Copies of this chain bind each other. A is one copy, B any other.
Amino acid sequence: MKVGGVHYRSVWPGDDRRSVHAIDQTRLPHAFEIVRFTRREEIERAIRNMQVRGAPLIGASAAYGLCLEMADDPSDAALDAACRSLLATRPTAVDLANFLEAMREALGPVSPADRAECAWQRAEELADASAASCRSIGEHGVKLIEQLCEGRDASDPVNVLTHCNAGWLATVDWGTALAPIYLAHDRGIPVHVWVDETRPRNQGASLTAWELGQHGVPHTVVVDGAAGHLAQRGRVQLVLTGTDRTTADGDVCNKVGTYLKALAALDNGVPFWVALPETSIDWSLRDGVAEIPIEERDPTEVTWISGCDTSGRVVDVRITPEASPAANPAFDVTPARLVTGFVTERGLCAATPGALSRLHARP
């Protein structure tokens, strides 16, 4: 996607094959900065502190992290240790495990001397495939928006509510939940996005709003509590989110607060769809509430916030009483019964048992 007219991916390899570049997502929306990594440990730190975040992007970044390791030390022991270490950076998004598994399958049979070359090649293939999957999600998902547009006045756009950031910043390119929205906008379908602020870390207010703005898509930021009111007043036609891990039976783990959006959608007859590439599906799990580990992050993400002061300086401020503790569960699980359907690179399917497996031709 484009930033100021220049095409960017969220993460990309250096021409020197000794470095990886990424957009520093902790600096947006106040500054657009590229960060350069030359060691696997730097990428691990970037995943942990969310300079790169979003389920598919975490996976792709980890694959590139393995490239840096193989360029340093292509031994079996280093491959094993690096995979383990990268996998431990964050517990919830399953793309991390899926990308690392794909890298290991490619690198395992290759002799150490050829591993660095093979790693860069395989990581690039996976990144390209991930971007292509997101583009396909857009092609399939745009049909939902087209359908909702039928019979509406041109001055009355389809209002899509989204939570967190499932745009191109969360993926290698295109995004998951935002891909259909970009395509709809590009095709002249009037679409407007309600952007949930998405506390804490405010990925909606700082990332989704920013990338929609860069692309010229009409949008309005609202607090996370506003979705119910908007749905109740007929001001939301579709809720569309991404996911960090979806079980074979369709339970959706995503940024904390997503579950409340699904409840509000159901209570008001608004369809609730989830957009995801196959790398975000955990075929080994069925019950998301019982089985998906929910990351507890540092409470300072709740008690402190970063913003731009009146003189343009980025400042961290504390927003709670000094003595008050906070808790910070980063994800929640939306049971499949609340999900209308899924948009994947293979097409659309209802969130009924077996539907995702059939769509992806899994046993």
Point out residues on A near B: beta carbons under 8 Å: 29, 163, 195, 197-200, 202, 205-206, 209-210, 212-213, 219-230, 232, 255-260, 263-264, 267, 289, 294, 302-310, 315-321, 323-329, 331-333
Contacts and interface: CB of A to CB of B under 8 A. Distances in A.
B267 A222 contact: no
A242 to B, nearest CB: 15
Given A213-B321, A263-B264, 12 more contacts: A197-B319, A205-B319, A205-B324, A206-B320, A221-B302, A221-B303, A223-B224, A227-B260, A228-B260, A232-B289, A305-B307, A308-B317
A225 B222 contact: no
Nearest to A223: B199
Most chain-B CB neighbours within 10 Å: which of A197, A223, A319? A223
Contacts of A202: 319
Nearest to A258: B225
B206 A319 contact: yes
Interface secondary structure of A, over-half rule: mixed
Nearest to A267: B263
Contacts of A329: 222, 226, 229-230
B309 A316 contact: yes
B315 A309 contact: yes
Most chain-B CB neighbours within 10 Å: which of A220, A224, A225? A225
Contact of A225 (B195, B224, B321): B224
Contacts of A315: 309, 315, 317
Given A316-B309, A324-B209, A200 B223 contact: yes
A60 to B, nearest CB: 25
Given A229-B259, A294-B229, A222 B317 contact: no
A224 B308 CA distance: 23
A307 B202 CA distance: 16
Nearest to A218: B325
A234 B243 CA distance: 23
Contacts of A209: 320-321, 324
A324 B260 CA distance: 24
B223 A256 contact: yes
A169 B290 CA distance: 40
Contacts of A29: 320-321, 324
Contact of A256 (B225, B309, B310): B225
Nearest to A325: B220
Given A225-B198, A321-B29, A305 B302 contact: no
A317 to B, nearest CB: 3
Nearest to A164: B225
Nearest to A323: B213
B319 A220 contact: no
Contact of A221 (B264, B306, B324): B324
